[in-house]
Amino acid sequence: MRWSIKCSDVYFLKVRFGLKDGSACTSMRKTWEEALEHCRETHTDLTSLNSETEQRLALSEIQHDHITERVWIGLRFFGDHWLWVNGDPLVYEAWPEGDQEYQCPLRKRCGALTKEGHWENWDCEEKVHFICY
């Protein structure tokens, strides 16, 4: 996977997953559902982070380019557990140590990646930047 952010006002995130290659303009702020729809219409999906390596690469670029807030990722709480919307199994997790809020969220049922490098459950109706692949 390769990430790069190259614009001053508009952040372009390029992601490479094997043969999948795309970019998403994340200057837009969208709800989680709007971001999902945008990604599926113009790329493939909201991104999933399936390993510590992918997480570190994403975090390194986000911190390097001074993104100062969370970004939507393709993580959603359905039923009684968290799932990647693209169907990938949840084999890697990056919740903050000691944080129990994500285990049974009442309202914050969408996943975001923070600039600190952890995931957080967030209100799906908030409009934030997002990452497509």
Read off the pLDDT band of 106 (50, 70, 90): confident
In this prediction the pTM is 0.79
Higher pLDDT, 110 or 62: 110
68 in a domain, yes or no?
yes
Residue 5 domain flag = no
Residue 121 inside a domain? The answer is yes
* pLDDT attached to residue 36: 96
Q: Tell whether 78 is covered by a domain.
A: yes
The contacts of residue 28 (CB under 8 Å, 6+ apart) are: 38, 129, 130
Number of domains in the chain: 1
49-87: pLDDT as tens digits: 999 998 887 777 677 666 678 989 999 999 889 999 998
Query: CA angle at residue 45 from 25 to 17, to 5 degrees?
Result: 90
What is residue 59's predicted lDDT score, i.e. its pLDDT? 77
Question: Considering the domain boundaries, does residue 2 fall inside one?
Answer: no
Element (H, E) at 35: helix 32-42
User: Is residue 124 domain-resident?
Assistant: yes
**Does residue 105 sit within a domain?**
yes
State the maximum Cα–Cα separation within the chain, in Å, rounded to a whole number: 40
The answer to whether residue 54 is domain-embedded is yes
Q: The domain that contains 29 carries what CATH number?
A: 3.10.100.10
Q: Which domain holds residue 30?
A: 12-130
